[in-house]
Structure 1
Amino acid sequence: MSTIIIDVMPKRELLDPAGKAVHRALQQDGHVEFGAVRIGKRFELSVEGEVTEAHLDKARALADDLLSNGVIEDVVAIRVEDTP
Structure 2
Amino acid sequence: MDETTITGTLPNMSVEIRHHSDPDGGAEIMTINLRATPDFQSALPLIGGLGQMSPLFAPMALWGQAMEAWTAPWRQLAEANPLLRLLREQNDRT
Return the TM-score normalized by structure 2: 0.25
Structure with the higher fraction of residues in strand conformation = 1
Return the TM-score normalized by structure 1: 0.27
Of the two, which has the highest radius of gyration?
2
